[in-house]
Amino acid sequence: MIEPKDPLAAAESAYARWLDWGTRIGLILLIASFSAYAFEIVAPHVPLQELSRSWTLPVDEYRVAVGAPAGWGWLELAARGDYLNYFGIVFLALVTALCYLRVLPLLFAGRERIYAVLAMLEIVVLAVAIVGLAGGAH
């Protein structure tokens, strides 16, 4: 028997819309900030010519070698060309969580309780990762 339209259709549509705009904004931010970095319009924290001496190191040694921050510490260096790129990267990594936040009320409204619980659990998992509670380096 062919079933009628999936009750999750409204959530899917909203998810697609937010995903579309979120990805566009993230990629534009990344391209703009990388251009400013690569053409040295904004001075980087680690000079580009010196970077090749340290990118062969494991990340923990790299951070010590160049004085790079961990966690959300990059915000303090956000005016530097290399860390300016983090706005685009972080935005792209936030898009999925924003989409889940958008569809959560729609799932409750559509009485999709199991999926509303799944969405809440996913938001918790993503929030733990985003905040850095899941073992970010300090």
Partner 1 sequence: MRFLAFVFALALAEPAFAAEATALPWWIWPAMLFAASFAIGIVGVLAGVGGGVLFVPIVGGFFPFHLDFVRAAGLLLALCGALSAGPRLLRSGLASLRLAMPLALAGSITSIAGALIGLALPTHIAQTALGATILAIAVLMLRAGRSEFPQVLAPDRVGAAFGLGGVFHDPASRRDFEWRTHRTVPGIFVFAGIGLLAGMFGLGAGWANVPALNLLMGVPLKLAVGTSGLILSVVDTSAAWVYIHHGAVLPVLVAPSIAGVMLGAKVGARLLRIAPARTVRKTVIALLFLAGVRALLKGLGIWN
Please count the CA atoms within 13 angstroms of the CA of 136 that sit on its side-chain side: 13
Burial of 84 (0-12, 13-18, 19+ CB in 10 A): buried
Q: Render the burial of 7-39: b for 16+ CB within 10 Å, e for the rest.
A: eeebbeeebeebeeebeeebeebbeebbeebee
CB of residue 133 to partner 1, shortest distance in Å: 10
110 binds partner 1 (CB under 8 A): no
The 30-49 site mask, x for binding partner 1 (CB under 8 A), equals xx-xx--xx---------xx
Binding test (CB under 8 A) with partner 1, winner from 43, 65, 70, 75: 70
Paired tokens of 133: 């509670």
CB of residue 108 to partner 1, shortest distance in Å: 14
CB of residue 82 to partner 1, shortest distance in Å: 6
Contact residues for partner 1, defined by CB under 8 A: 1-3, 6, 8, 11-13, 15-17, 19-20, 22-23, 26-27, 30-31, 33-34, 37-38, 48-49, 51-53, 55-60, 62-63, 68-72, 74, 82, 85-86, 89-90, 92-93, 95-97, 103, 114-115, 118-119, 121-122, 125-126, 128-130, 132, 134-137
